[in-house]
DNA sequence: CGCTAGTGTCACACGGTTGTCACAAAACCT
DNA sequence: AGGTTTTGTGACAACCGTGTGACACTAGCG
């Protein structure tokens, strides 16, 4: 399936040029003029890569990049920053804000494509969508399904993300705060104890299938998912 | 040990509110009215985080933030900027001047605390995460687990920290006071003999696996962890 | 408009952990 | 040996962290 590249650029001419090149290279091109539009596209289409001009009308690209990095749902999307001048200061800021790569205008289409492919290759294993198996459980992110021994397990969205995180990060203790960061996202402000409640709901959902004891409490530290 | 938060705010009412929330969250609150006061506090107390209003009487907060970033001694102290209006321009200026995060008045206490915790977490020194092996024991800090010959050993939080310290500081005698400092922390005041009790509990937990004699008593001096 | 599923928060109960003590045991000294 | 100092050990109360049920609120939907 074609990778989706989101182009965030307010100058129509350059946006057009970028889109042309991107499609020429066999990718699917999405477009946005500003930060708001970008968020809409991200929510709707979940792009595989974002081409981001750091000079945007209201929000600067750097701020948007930081926001993207701060949210659990978007932090894994790679970003390539675009800037007019090759000032070192910009470059450093861009990379520090969480961009994966960086290209200065004017750029050659060949260079741009090379960088896009390089970044996509680096992020190739889209862990987010891969089936996960651990502790006798099967989790299919794309289908939003979990099963154990052929039996389906019904989970709410939050429990699902929580379990997904645990299954991909087994044998390690995570504090409530870390779980909030990873599962809820940094932008959300909820009580730490909320984690407890969701742990309980998740345990309750797993219990009927003899999948008890998978999520262990480590008193004073947090929780741990253990395959045994 | 409680983190120290320096509040730089000229409006008494808001300063009071901030201090209340900060203390409520279990942090130590320092206060300053202006840039000069802030510098004094920073020199004297070395805060872990600065809450900085960007509208200050003489110097603006942004200038102060830039000065903080320019000085090697203070450049690593995270800064959260406070501003009255959520203008994007301010936001950009604030972040570019070196602030780590940004919050607009009026703010909810919950959001404020969440941001403080997030920033502190981001800047927290990464604690020892490497697996340790000594005396036939395996200790995994990340998983919060100890095992000997494949068998798991259940330990309480304090015993775990104590053993971790011993395993990373084997073949050396530590006094009760030193152990209290290293394992309990400097701020805590407990009886020296408490160490004895925890040593005993640790020994009791290791004994069933023939791991006896690992922790030796050095009469008049303290205890030693020895691999033999 | 009511209904439902999902979520965040709270109050309370419960059990584990912890620090301290009193006393037993051991080591040291004269 | 007797006396003194230091450490081991069992018990216990207080406290803290976690489990749990209930409830209010929201968004989505019929």
Quote the CA–CA distance of B90 and A103 in Å, as a whole number.
27
CB B7 within 8 A of CB B18: yes
| Residue B201: per-residue pLDDT | 94
pLDDT confidence band for A127 (50 / 70 / 90): very low
Here the tokens at position B111 are 């959001």
Q: Which of A58, A189, A224 sits opposite B144 (nearest CB)?
A: A224
In the beta sheet, which residues pair with residue A81? Answer: A52, A102
End-of-domain residue from the set A106, A124, A142? A124
Domain match, A120 and A133 both? no
Residue range of the domain that includes B37: 4-123
Q: Which residues contact A185 (CB under 8 A, 6 or more apart)?
A: A70, A71, A72, A73
Domain match, A118 and A138 both? no
Query: Is the C-beta of residue A198 closer than 7 Å to nucleic acid chain C?
Result: yes
Nearest to A103 by CA among A123, A131, A82, A121: A82
CB B227 within 8 A of CB B170: yes
Does B194 have pLDDT greater than 70? yes
Query: Is the C-beta of residue B219 closer than 7 Å to nucleic acid chain D?
Result: yes
CATH number at residue A188: 1.10.10.10
Domain match, A63 and A152 both? no
| DSSP per-residue letters across A21-90 | HHHHTTPEEEEESSHHHHHHHHHHH--SEEEEES--SSS-HHHHHHHHHHSTTTTTS-EEEEESS--HHH
A209-A214-A217-A218 Cα dihedral, nearest 10 degrees: 170
| Residue A92: per-residue pLDDT | 47
Cβ-count burial A182-191 (b if 16+ within 10 Å, e if not): bbbebeebee
Looking at the structure of chain B, the number of domains it has is 2
For A14-52, the pLDDT digits (tens) are 888 888 778 767 788 888 888 777 887 877 777 888 888
End-of-domain residue from the set B123, B144, B161? B123
Does A196 have pLDDT greater than 90? yes
| Residue A10: per-residue pLDDT | 84
Specify the higher pLDDT residue, B145 or A115. B145
Specify the higher pLDDT residue, B203 or A10. B203
Here the tokens at position B57 are 């009487």
Instruction: Please provide the size of chain B in residues.
Output: 228
Domain match, A152 and A216 both? yes
Domain match, A43 and A78 both? yes
Domain match, A90 and A196 both? no
* Phi/psi at B19 (5° precision): -60, -40
Q: Which nucleotide is nearest to B194 (CA to C1')?
A: C19
CB interface of A with B, residues 83-122, below 8 Å? 93
Quote the CA–CA distance of B41 and B64 in Å, as a whole number.
13
**Closest CA–CA distance from residue B24 to any residue of chain A (Å):** 14
Domain match, A30 and A102 both? yes
Nearest to B138 by CA among B201, B216, B209: B209
**Closest CA–CA distance from residue B99 to any residue of chain A (Å):** 12
End-of-domain residue from the set B123, B157, B177? B123
Place of tokens 């200790």: B139
CB B55 within 8 A of CB B61: yes
CB B199 within 8 A of CB B207: no
CB B148 within 8 A of CB B162: no
| DSSP per-residue letters across B3-67 | PEEEEE-S-HHHHHHHHHHHHHTTPEEEEESSHHHHHHHHHHH--SEEEEES--SSS-HHHHHHH
Domain match, A163 and A51 both? no
Domain match, A119 and A203 both? no
| Residue B40: per-residue pLDDT | 86
With residue A225 as reference, give the H or E element that holds it. strand A222-225
Quote the CA–CA distance of B213 and B218 in Å, as a whole number.
12
Is the link from the previous residue into A183 a cis peptide, with omega within 30 of 0? no
CA angle A147, B144, B214 (to 5 degrees): 140
ipTM > 0.95? no
CATH number at residue B77: 3.40.50.2300
Q: For chain B, what is the mean pLDDT?
A: 81
**Whether A175 contacts chain B with CB within 8 A:** no
- Report chain B's terminal Cα–Cα distance, integer Å: 35
For A47-79, the pLDDT digits (tens) are 888 888 877 766 677 778 877 776 666 777 888
Q: SS3 for B78?
A: coil
Pairing of strands A4-8, B222-225: unpaired
CB B71 within 8 A of CB B60: no
For B29-61, the pLDDT digits (tens) are 899 888 888 888 888 888 888 888 877 766 677
CA of A120: how far to CAs of A20, A24, A66, A115, A141, in Å? 18, 16, 20, 8, 20
| Residue A201: per-residue pLDDT | 94
Does B200 have pLDDT greater than 50? yes
**Whether A171 contacts chain B with CB within 8 A:** yes
**Closest CA–CA distance from residue B91 to any residue of chain A (Å):** 9
Domain match, B19 and B49 both? yes
Domain match, B119 and B137 both? no
Domain match, A107 and A135 both? no
């Amino acid at each position: 399936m074609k990778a989706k590249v989101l182009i965030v650029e307010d100058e129509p001419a350059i946006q057009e040029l970028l889109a042309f090149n991107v499609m020429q290279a066999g990718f699917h091109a999405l477009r946005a003029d500003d930060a708001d539009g970008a968020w809409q596209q991200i929510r709707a289409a979940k792009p595989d890569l974002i081409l981001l001009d750091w000079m945007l009308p209201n929000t600067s690209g750097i701020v948007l990049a930081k926001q993207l990095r701060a949210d659990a749902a978007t932090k894994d999307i790679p970003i390539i920053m675009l800037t007019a001048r090759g000032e070192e200061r910009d470059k450093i800021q861009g990379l520090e804000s969480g961009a994966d790569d960086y290209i200065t205008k004017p750029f050659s289409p060949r260079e741009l494509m090379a960088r896009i492919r390089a970044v996509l290759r680096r992020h190739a294993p889209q862990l987010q969508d891969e089936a996960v198996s651990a502790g006798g459980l099967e989790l299919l992110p794309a289908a939003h399904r979990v099963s154990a021994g052929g039996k389906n397990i019904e989970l709410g969205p939050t429990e699902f993300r929580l379990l997904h995180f645990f299954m991909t990060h087994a044998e390690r203790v995570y504090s409530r705060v870390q779980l909030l960061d990873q599962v809820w996202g940094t932008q959300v402000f909820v009580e730490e104890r909320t984690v407890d409640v969701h742990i309980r709901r998740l345990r309750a959902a797993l219990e009927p299938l003899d999948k008890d004891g998978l999520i262990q409490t480590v008193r004073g530290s947090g929780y741990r998912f253990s395959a045994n």
